[in-house]
A and B are shown apart, each in its own frame.
Chain A
Amino acid sequence: MTRGASEPTREELLAMAYADGELSGTEREEFERVLERRADLRELVARELRLDVLARASAGPEPMDLEWRAMDAEPLHRATLGVGLTLVLAGLALGAFGLLYFLWASALPRAVPIGVTAAMAGATVLGARALRARLRTQALDPYTEIRR
């Protein structure tokens, strides 16, 4: 009988058994030495472990998860995260640069008000994004009426 192309090799079977914690002490130690040399087997073990983690979370998605997924696919939702974070980080970097310059030259450069404005604009974008997401998902949140 010949081995098919899709049939796992002995090392691949060992990798799956290793990920499932099924190897005995000496087998495990021997396979760990093989793993040190073989990047492809390390990737296979990582993939198996990832599948195990996914299999443990077997419940289906909730309505709110589907709404989050739909929002994540929207260009506006993705863009506002990038724009907001960029503005905040750039603003903070400009502000920090301006303060260092102030300590060195005792004069407040224009970078400080620009940085503060950029950081505030970024925070506003991120806040508006969070508020929009909450308003869209609130109707799908079944826990809002619970009192105690």
Chain B
Amino acid sequence: MIVVTTDHVPGREIADTIGFVRGNTVRAAHAGEDLSAYFKNMVGGEIEEYTKLLAESREQALDRMIAEARARGADGIVGLRFATCEIAGGCAEILAYGTAVRFTAR
């Protein structure tokens, strides 16, 4: 599965546009991580707990988008984008979306 942020893949021709695919998730850190992050926030530097939380969410949203593209018979996703919003304090929502396509056979 080729997943790119561009609208085209060099050397590959899009034979069929299957349509919009997306995957999203909302994840939260546990209370201990939130407490640790709170104190790190006071002294500065990277808050690893939240870096990890966002990375987990990003990968899960990506996997869900790819699973949907596979289920619809795609072999690539072009125009990948990420979007995020805050649905509740301490939660990370990530939406990954793009256009599922089928490439011509090589």
Interface residues of A (CB under 8 A from B): 57-60, 62, 134, 143-144, 146-148
Contacts and interface: CB of A to CB of B under 8 A. Distances in A.
Contacts of B72: 58
A62 B60 CA distance: 11
A148 B23 CA distance: 19
Interface string B31-70: 0000000000000000010011001110110001001101
The 3 A-B residue pairs with the shortest CB-CB distance, nearest first, are: A59-B67, A143-B56, A58-B71
Contacts of B52: 146-148
Contacts of B23: 59
Contacts of B70: 59
B36 to A, nearest CB: 15
A68 to B, nearest CB: 14
A146 B71 contact: no
B28 to A, nearest CB: 10
A124 to B, nearest CB: 14
15 contacts: A58-B68, A58-B72, A59-B64, A59-B67, A59-B70, A59-B71, A60-B67, A60-B71, A62-B67, A143-B27, A143-B56, A146-B55, A146-B56, A147-B48, A148-B55
Contacts of A134: 30
A144 B33 CA distance: 13
B59 to A, nearest CB: 6
B95 to A, nearest CB: 13
A7 B51 CA distance: 56
A59 B55 CA distance: 22
B100 to A, nearest CB: 10
Given A147-B48, A148-B55, 17 more contacts: A58-B71, A59-B67, A59-B68, A59-B70, A60-B67, A60-B71, A62-B67, A134-B30, A143-B27, A143-B57, A143-B59, A143-B60, A146-B55, A146-B56, A147-B52, A148-B51, A148-B52
A51 to B, nearest CB: 16
Nearest to A60: B71
Nearest to A64: B60
B48 to A, nearest CB: 8
Contacts of B55: 146-148
Nearest to B46: A148
Contacts of B64: 59
